Structure 1
Amino acid sequence: MEMTDSLSIFSNLYLSAQPLFDFSNSANPIFGYELLLRTQETQVFPTEFFDRVILSKTLNAELLKWYYTEIKGILDHTKKIISINIHPQQLYYSETFSMLDKLKMHHEQLLIEITEHDTHPSIYRHSDALLAKSIIEIRKMRFSTALDDVGTGIHTLENIVRLMESVDVIKFSTLSFKQLYLEEILLLIDFWEKFSETRKVKIIVEGVDTPMLHRDLLLRKIFLQQGYYLSKPISISDIEL
């Protein structure tokens, strides 16, 4: 995709929604949805395109205008929790916080997920400095915040431990550990569940793609789950009211 025409490059994008489940509520376990960016061409996340866009202050601002319109329309349609992803690179731009400020009337509905990806220049060894400052600004707008894919990328234990007082949720994904046996993945989950309990934050386990993992999480009383076994991403029009 060419970067010369911002209207044309963003017209190829759409959002899908993957349900978030809370199995402590058996009557209606879907409590929210994570919004996922996709392209009409591939139906998957446009990694290369997105990475190029967020390196440009101008293109990032254009993307956020499109994003705001889509998110606002969803929030006006449902009372469920809506989780949106913010790449750390986007935290360098004032436009990112301006978009969130325009959405702050929906602060009770929105969960702001900071993804695990590195920035340019790299903040891998000292990501907590940028993230701490940014999360404080986000929380001033009364949003709940989450750290995505803990244990991977910039979200190492060393980096995130200093952020826990300002974070509401951590998300652990099994998708980065597909090479491990289930028993080994459960050991990692046990650690992060105990860590979340100690730090008094919620944990959502992503990548629940098998009935065995779903069962084992329920046995551990880990009720907040997300994954293809539970539900594939759905159309925005199918989000529950």
Structure 2
Amino acid sequence: MDLADSTVLVTGANRGFGRALAAELLGRGATVYAGARDPGRVDLPGATPIPLDITDPASIAAAVKATGDVTVLINNAGSPPGAELLTGDVDAIRHEMDTHFFGTLSVVRGFAPQIAANGGGAILNVLSGLSWVSFPEAGAYCAAKSAEWSLTNALRLQLAGQGIRVAGLHVGYMDTDMVRTVTDAKSDPADIARIAVDGIAAGAYEILADNASRQAQAALAGGVAALYPQLP
């Protein structure tokens, strides 16, 4: 698809990867709504800030009403890994599911009719290599991202008949505030944004942006032994 003719809503666009996505899209001539809980923190020239809290149904409804011309939705807003499953705070675990699964679903339910009414387009859900492999210390995040991957697959089938192509972006660590304490190798968000937008333009269903995500996907075929070799 020609993104220069598209109007794109990016959630969580005030910083990090969301800001990089919005900048990449603007550079390709797209019209960009930059969704953020605090739109005053959007500092990207050319983008139109829009208030949007993906966990608040009223905020989503207001964003739908305030737009009308969206043809591409990028569900980027999320929360950092913060809870493990056995002893973690249940409210923190629920927050991760509310954000990544229910939040993404609510935004899609709000904007899919608008995209369809505008002749169709695309939805990109920003997933993770952790959609496919879990680490105990980030168990809630991994579970939420896995659920979001399943959601992406189901919506892809449901929305295809309305001319909406649903894609998932899988990526490992990016050099953003969300993982500032992580010492492993991190990708440049601007590089991943370019790969993601290339994928949308090409009509890809699944975009694997780095080696970490490619390795995680490949390990799925090997089952538990390949995913978790530390098990006896």
**TM-score where L is the length of structure 1:** 0.38
Structure holding more helix per residue: 2
Structure holding more strand per residue: 1
